[in-house]
Amino acid sequence: MVGKSEPINGTAKSQPPPSPLSPKSPDLLSGYFSFKSLKLKTKQQELLIRVSILCLVYILAFVTRLFSVLRYESMIHEFDPYFNYRTTLFLTEKGFYEFWNWFDSESWYPLGRIIGGTLYPGLMVTAALLYWGLRFLRFAVHIREVCVLTAPFFASNTTILAYFFGKEIWDTGAGLVAAALIAICPGYISRSVAGSYDNEGVAIFALLLTFYLFVKAVNTGSLSWGLASAFGYFYMVSAWGGYVFIINLVPLYVLVLLITGRYSMRLYVAYNCMYILGMLLAMQIRFVGFQHVQSGEHMAAMGVFFLMQVFYLLDWLKHLLSDTKLFQAFLRMTVTSAVGVGAVALGVGTASGYISPWTGRFYSLLDPTYAKDHIPIIASVSEHQPTAWSSFMFDFQILLFLFPAGLYFCFKRLSDATIFIVMYGLTSMYFAGVMVRLILVATPAVCLISAIAVSATIKNLTLLLRAKTKAPQSASGKGGSSGKAASKGSLDQSQPFQKNGAIALLFGAFYLLSKYVTHCTWVTSEAYSSPSIVLAARGAHGNRVIFDDYREAYFWLRQNTPPDAKVMSWWDYGYQITAMGNRTVIVDNNTWNNTHIATVGRAMSSYEDEAYEIMRSLDVDYVLVVFGGVTGYSSDDINKFLWMVRIGGGVFPVIKEPDYLVNGEYRVDKGAAPKMLNCLMYKLSYYRFGELTTEYGRPPGYDRARGVEIGNKDIKLEYLEEAFTTSNWIVRIYKVKPPNNRW
C-alpha cells in the first residue's frame, strides 16, 4: 500500500519516523496511510475544489429553477409546452413508430396536422427516454414530472458544458466562472424554469454542445471530435429550429478564419466532417428533410464547404507549382471561377425553384421591420418583438458590461477558439437585439465572454497580490496564514497603491458579482416563475388569490362536451385546448396556415350572422373567448383583437382595420366604432357583462382591464348561446346553435 502511494512530500516529513524495531506493525502502517491520504496535494486539492464547485453549481442551476413548483405546483407552463407535453404523452403511450406517423385530427380542423412530419422530436424523445430510463430503474415517476423537470435538468447539464467550453477557450478558472454565471443567468432561466417544457430547454444545451465539440475539433483537428460535433448538431436539429443559427454561424466562422489566414488542416477536418455528417444526419429529421440542400438559409454552409475544397486544392497546387507568379495567376482564376460557378448555381437553383427562398422569419431577423409590414402573424407574437434595452438589462445585468471587457481579453489573446466565441457573441447579440426570444441564444456566449473577463481580471488582481508575498514566502514553504503574516513586515514599499487598488478592485468585483446573484434570484422569482395558466393576485387583505379559470374552462370542455366537438378560439389557446380540454380546435399555436387563422380572425371580427356562416362552414360547435374585464387581466382577447383584424384583413380584404378604430384610436366604450361594438368578439366578451357590477362605486359594465364602461350593454345573441363562463369570467365558452328548421 505504501509503495503504491506517491513519494513522500514535505508534509510527510513532519511525521516522526516509525521506529525501525517495529516497522511491520499494521496499526502504525494504517495510521500512517490514513494520515497521508487525508492531506491532499495541491493538485488534488484543486481537483477537489473544482469538482465540488461544479457539483454545487450543478445543484444550484437545478434548484433556482424550482420557484414555480414551490409557489404553484408541478405543472406545465404557458402555451407551446402543452403541445410538447401532449405529444410526449402520446409517445410514451403509443411508442415511437406511432408517434412518427401520427396524423392529428384534433388540431387544424378540418385540415389536421401531420405531427410526426411537422415537429422537432428531440425534446419529446429526450423526455420519453428519461422517463423510460427512470421506469427501468424502478422509479415510478409520472411523465408529467419528467416533463416539468426536463428543462432544469438540461440547464444543469449546460453549466457543466459551459465549464468545459470555458476551459477550452480560456482556462479552468474561466470555465468555472462561466458555469456559475450561466447557472443563474435570467436570460436562460426565462426559458428553462421547471414546467417550461419547451424546445429551447434542451436546445440551448444542444447548441452549446455542438459549439463546444466543434471548437474542440478545430483545436485538436481530431476526426472523433468532428464526428461528435456532427452528432451534437444532429441533436440540435432534432430539438429546435434555431439550428439554422449553427449552420450559418459555423460557415461564417470558417470563412473568417480563411480570410484571416488561419486556415489549417485541423479546420478542414473539423468542418468537413461536421458539415457532411451533420447534414446527412439532419436529413433524417422529417421536418427538416432536404432543406440542407434545397433551402436558401442553408446555402452558406454548402458554399463554404465548396470553398474549403478549393482552398485545399490550391494549397496542394501551391506545393506542386514552384513558381509563385504562376500560382498567383492560377489562384485568381480559380477563385473567380469558383465564386462565379457558385453564384450561377445559386441563381439557377433559386430561379428554377429548386432552392427555396428565405422564409419570412429569417427575413425578419435580417430586417427587423420586415415582419411588421408583411407578416402580421409573426409580428403579433410578443416574443418576436425587437428587444428593449430594459430587457437586456433585466436579463444580463452586469454581464452587459462584462461582455465588452471579455471581448477585449479575447482580442488580446486571439486563437481559433476565441475568434469563435467572439463571433458567436457578436452575431447572437445582434439577433438578440432583433427579437426578444433570441436573448436566449446570446446568453451562453455572453456568459462565456463575461466569464473570461471576470476570470482574467480576478486572476490578474490576485497575481498582483500574490506576487509581492511570493518572495518572502518561498522560504517558509507552504502558503498559509502564518506565511502571510510573516511577509507583511517585508512588503515592498514602492507599490503600496497597486496592492490596495487590487484589493479594492477585488472587493468591487465581488460586490458586483454578489449583486448579480441577488438580481438573478429576484428576477427568477418575480418574473419568470409564473405558469401563466394559473394567475395569482393579492387580495384586499394581502392574501393570495388564485384565478384558476383556464383550467376550469378546459376541464369543463373535457368533461361536458361531446368528444368530437370542435372549438373555435384565437390560435393562442389552441395547444391548451387540445392538451387540457382534449377537444378539436380550428387553429393552434403552430401557425402554419395563415389563411385558416385569418378565417378565424375574420369570423371574430364580423357581425354575428356573417360569423355564423363562417362557423357553420368550419363545423364549429363551441367558441371560446378569453375576457379579463372582471378581474383586470389585460392579455385577453379584446386586447389582442386588433391583431385578429389585421391578420383577417391580410387575407380577406373585407375586414378593414379602420372600421374598428375611431380616429386611429382603439376603444370599447360608448365612443367606439359601431362595427367594433357589434362584432362577434365584442359580443361574446361582453355578453351580459352590462348587468354586472365589477367595482364598487362604478356603473355596471365597468371593464376593469381597460378602465372604461362598455359601450354596448344590451347584447343579444341570435346564433350562439352561453354554454359556460368560469367563476372569474376569464374564459367564456359559447355554443353554436344548430340551424333553424327550414319549414
Partner 1 sequence: MAIPLRLRAAVSISIFALLLILPSCSAQDIQVVNAERRIDLTSHIIKVFLTLKVENTGASPASEILLAFPPTQVDHLAVVKAQVATGKRKKKTYTPLDVNPKELPDAPNGTKYLSISLLNPLAAGEAVTLEVLYILTHSLEPFPVEISQSESQLVYYHDSALILSPYHIKQQITFIKTPTTKVESFTVVDPTHRAGTELKYGPYNDRPPHSYSPVIVHLENNSPFAVVEELVREVEISHWGSLQITEQYKLAHAGARHKGVFSRVEYQSRPGHSGVSSFRHLLARLPPRVHSVYYRDEIGNISSSRLRLGALKSELEIEPRYPLFGGWKATFVIGYGLPLEDFLFESPDGRRYLNFSYGCPLVETVVDKLTIKVVLPEGSKEPSAVVPFPVNQYLEKKYSYLDIVGRTVVVLEKNNVVPEHNIPFQVYYHFNPIFMLAEPLMLTSVFFLLFVTCVAYLHIDLSLRK
Residues lying near partner 1 in the complex (CB under 8 A) are found at: 47, 72-73, 75, 138-140, 533-534, 546, 548, 551-552, 554-556, 558-560, 580, 688, 691-692, 721-727, 729
Shortest spacing between CB 639 and partner 1, in angstroms: 21
Cα–Cα nearest to 149, from 222, 49, 63, 32: 63
Nearest-angstrom CA–CA distance, 181 and 60:
11
The CA distances from residue 382 to 29, 130, 571, 625, in Å, are 70, 32, 14, 19
78: how many CB neighbours lie within 10 A of its CB? 18
Which residue, 190 or 725, has its beta carbon nearer to partner 1? 725
- Dig out the grid coordinates for 462 from the structure: 490576485
Cα–Cα nearest to 294, from 354, 375, 339: 354
Residue 316: HSE in the Cβ half-sphere, 13 Å Cα cutoff: 7
Q: Is 435 helix (H, G, I), strand (E, B) or coil?
A: coil
Q: Specify which residues 568 forms β-bridges with.
A: 623
Shortest spacing between CB 75 and partner 1, in angstroms: 5
Shortest spacing between CB 92 and partner 1, in angstroms: 15
Shortest spacing between CB 79 and partner 1, in angstroms: 14
Which residue, 72 or 516, has its beta carbon nearer to partner 1? 72
Which residue, 234 or 554, has its beta carbon nearer to partner 1? 554
Nearest-angstrom CA–CA distance, 612 and 43:
77
Shortest spacing between CB 731 and partner 1, in angstroms: 11
Which residue, 416 or 548, has its beta carbon nearer to partner 1? 548
Nearest-angstrom CA–CA distance, 657 and 660:
6
Cα–Cα nearest to 435, from 383, 372, 380: 383
How, if at all, do strands 535-538 and 103-104 pair?
Answer: unpaired
Which residue, 667 or 704, has its beta carbon nearer to partner 1? 704
Shortest spacing between CB 109 and partner 1, in angstroms: 22
Amino acid, single-letter form, for residue 345: A
Long-range pairs for 717-723: beta carbons < 8 A, 24 or more residues apart: 717/608, 717/683, 717/687, 718/608, 718/609, 718/612, 719/608, 719/609, 719/611, 719/612, 719/615, 720/608, 720/612, 720/623, 720/684, 722/687, 722/688, 723/622
The three-point CA angle 97-103-109 to 5° equals: 165
Which residue, 85 or 396, has its beta carbon nearer to partner 1? 85
Cα–Cα nearest to 425, from 402, 446, 404: 446
How, if at all, do strands 720-725 and 708-709 pair?
Answer: unpaired
Greatest pairwise CA separation for the chain in angstroms: 121
- Dig out the grid coordinates for 620 from the structure: 364549429
Which residue, 286 or 558, has its beta carbon nearer to partner 1? 558
Q: Residue with C-alpha cell 341570435? A: 718
Which residue, 27 or 691, has its beta carbon nearer to partner 1? 691
List the helix and strand counts (H, then E) for the chain: 33, 11
- Dig out the grid coordinates for 28 from the structure: 502504525
Nearest-angstrom CA–CA distance, 437 and 200:
10
Which residue, 279 or 533, has its beta carbon nearer to partner 1? 533
- Dig out the grid coordinates for 653 from the structure: 380584404
E strands within 364-522?
none
Which residue, 446 or 624, has its beta carbon nearer to partner 1? 624
Nearest-angstrom CA–CA distance, 72 and 325:
74
Nearest-angstrom CA–CA distance, 61 and 158:
9
Q: Residue with C-alpha cell 470558417? A: 254
Nearest-angstrom CA–CA distance, 82 and 578:
9
Shortest spacing between CB 60 and partner 1, in angstroms: 21
Which residue, 374 or 688, has its beta carbon nearer to partner 1? 688
Which residue, 82 or 392, has its beta carbon nearer to partner 1? 82
Long-range pairs for 180-183: beta carbons < 8 A, 24 or more residues apart: 180/53, 180/57, 180/60, 180/451, 181/399, 181/447, 181/450, 181/451, 181/454, 181/516, 182/61, 182/158, 182/443, 182/444, 182/447, 182/448, 183/57, 183/58, 183/60, 183/61, 183/64, 183/155, 183/156, 183/159
Cis check for the bond before 110: say yes or no (omega within 30 of 0).
yes
- Dig out the grid coordinates for 481 from the structure: 496564514
Shortest spacing between CB 72 and partner 1, in angstroms: 8
Shortest spacing between CB 542 and partner 1, in angstroms: 18
Nearest-angstrom CA–CA distance, 441 and 243:
11
Contacts with 344 (C-beta within 8 Å, 6 or more apart), sequence order: none
Which residue, 229 or 726, has its beta carbon nearer to partner 1? 726
Shortest spacing between CB 472 and partner 1, in angstroms: 35
Nearest-angstrom CA–CA distance, 505 and 456:
13
Shortest spacing between CB 141 and partner 1, in angstroms: 9
537: how many CB neighbours lie within 10 A of its CB? 12
DSSP conformation class of 737 = P
Long-range pairs for 488-492: beta carbons < 8 A, 24 or more residues apart: 492/468
Nearest-angstrom CA–CA distance, 622 and 722:
10
Nearest-angstrom CA–CA distance, 364 and 632:
33
Which residue, 353 or 562, has its beta carbon nearer to partner 1? 562
